[in-house]
């Protein structure tokens, strides 16, 4: 039945989304939710909001760091490039066909180590979670068949824990705060993971995004194993102290940054985990139950004082999160492949 996903909801989110008056949001409402024809994707590239991001890009393809660079071993330009590239790819569907998106991608690849990971965000330490999240954007931007991309996938597969999930190597060791701070701000040798320690669902969720968006990896055994691990941890605390509180599952952000329920479900829908899976059904029921009477979802369902702070980040964030949730519901209940390649 058409719009089966919409029939699951108590309130119609489409009307509220359209009231936002955000051109890019309206584009995706028509294309992703209503299956209506839209202009070529270049329409999004020319929007003033996208041009504003591009205007700040440096000649080497990176974006400048606005704060004080306290630790020269940390590549602040890579952090800012990742931050801005998220918006270009996830909100405005930029691909390598745009010269500035290509320059951004080339800058990111210039930060790839000989081992295959993207190095610099934690100084010279392995940042498995950022590597996976950045890789997912590069694939979506059209670099899925690039040899540098494949090298990165192989590195991620080699960095799994014994349980076949992922963690952040440095947190698998019980370093005191001073040692951990020193290791992530100086150019020392990267710490190898203690693979006997359990996976982190926060790291696994960020890394799984890369596997979910790649045609050759999305249904691989490694991806399915990691997907099962991730969904088994819904609404539970992480195994490690970093972002450990279970409330992080229900603190949302778009474009995606950290792992949360919405970003995790987005990956799991792309991978093809069925809606009748008990963990998925429980998560989808939670989303349906927590929809606001306006038809939207809140930015955060964490403790009230946290929710107030996080809701103030962006008035537009609520609309984008709602769009992401609507896509998830539609993809689980009416599976389709979201693509803008054939837009007319």
Give the pLDDT confidence of 138-181 residue by residue, as tens digits.
999 999 999 999 999 999 999 999 999 999 999 999 899 899 88
* Residue spans per domain, the chain: 1-38+247-344, 40-198
**pLDDT for the residue numbered 32:** 96
Rounded-to-integer distance, Cα 86 and Cα 214, Å: 17
pTM of the predicted model, to two decimals? 0.93
Using DSSP's 3-state secondary structure scheme, residue 120 falls into strand
Along the 344 residues of the chain, how does pLDDT read in single tens digits?
458 899 999 999 999 999 999 999 999 999 999 999 999 999 999 999 999 999 999 999 999 998 777 778 899 999 999 999 999 999 999 999 999 999 999 999 999 999 999 999 999 999 999 999 999 999 999 999 999 999 999 999 999 999 999 999 999 998 998 998 888 888 889 999 999 999 999 999 999 999 999 999 999 999 999 999 999 999 999 999 888 999 999 999 999 999 999 999 999 999 999 999 999 999 999 999 999 999 999 999 986 655 555 555 567 899 999 999 999 999 998 865 444 443 33
Domain 40-198 fold: Glycosyltransferase (1.50.10)
Q: Is the dihedral of CA 216, 219, 225, 229 positive or negative?
A: positive
- What's the confidence (pLDDT) of residue 313? 55
Q: Say how far residue 19 (Cα) sits from the centre of its chain.
A: 26
| Secondary structure (3-state) at 300 | strand
How far, in Å, CA of 291 to CA of 276, rounded? 20
Helix ranges restricted to H, 47-122: 48-55, 76-90, 99-110
Question: CA Rg, the chain, in Å?
Answer: 20
DSSP code for 189: P
Sign for the pseudo-dihedral over CA of 88, 89, 93, 95 = positive
pLDDT score of 343: 38
Distance, in Å, from the CA atom of 43 to the CA atom of 114, rounded to the nearest integer, reads 38
Is residue 331 within 8 Å of 339, Cβ to Cβ? no
């Amino acid at each position: 039945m058409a719009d089966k996903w919409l029939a699951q909801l108590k309130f119609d989110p489409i009307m509220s989304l359209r009231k936002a008056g955000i051109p890019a949001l309206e584009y995706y409402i028509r294309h992703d939710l209503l299956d209506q024809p839209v202009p070529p994707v270049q329409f999004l590239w020319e929007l003033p909001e996208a041009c504003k991001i591009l205007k700040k890009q440096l000649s080497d393809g990176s974006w400048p760091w606005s704060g004080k660079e306290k630790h020269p071993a940390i590549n602040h330009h890579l952090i800012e490039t990742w931050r801005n590239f998220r918006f270009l790819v996830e909100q405005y569907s930029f691909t390598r066909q745009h010269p500035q998106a290509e320059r951004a991608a080339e800058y990111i690849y210039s930060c790839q180590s000989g081992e295959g990971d993207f190095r610099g965000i934690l100084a010279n330490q392995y940042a498995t979670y950022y590597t996976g999240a950045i890789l997912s954007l590069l694939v979506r931007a059209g670099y899925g068949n690039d040899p540098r991309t494949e090298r990165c996938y192989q590195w991620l597969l080699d960095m799994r824990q014994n349980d076949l999930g992922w963690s952040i190597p440095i947190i698998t060791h019980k370093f005191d705060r001073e040692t951990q701070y020193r290791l992530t701000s100086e150019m020392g040798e990267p710490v190898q993971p203690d693979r006997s320690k359990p996976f982190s669902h926060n790291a696994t969720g960020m890394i799984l995004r890369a596997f979910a968006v790649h045609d050759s990896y999305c249904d691989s055994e490694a991806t399915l194993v990691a997907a099962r691990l991730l969904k088994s941890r819904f609404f539970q605390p992480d195994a490690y102290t970093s972002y450990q509180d279970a409330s992080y599952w229900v603190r949302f952000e778009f474009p995606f940054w950290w792992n949360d329920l919405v970003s995790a479900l987005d990956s799991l829908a792309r991978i093809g985990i069925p809606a009748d899976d008990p963990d998925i059904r429980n998560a989808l029921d939670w989303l349906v139950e927590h929809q606001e009477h306006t038809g939207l979802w809140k930015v955060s369902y964490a403790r009230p004082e946290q929710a107030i702070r996080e809701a103030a980040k962006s008035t537009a964030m609520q609309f984008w999160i709602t769009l992401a949730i609507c896509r998830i519901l539609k993809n689980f209940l009416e599976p389709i492949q979201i693509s803008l390649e054939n837009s007319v």
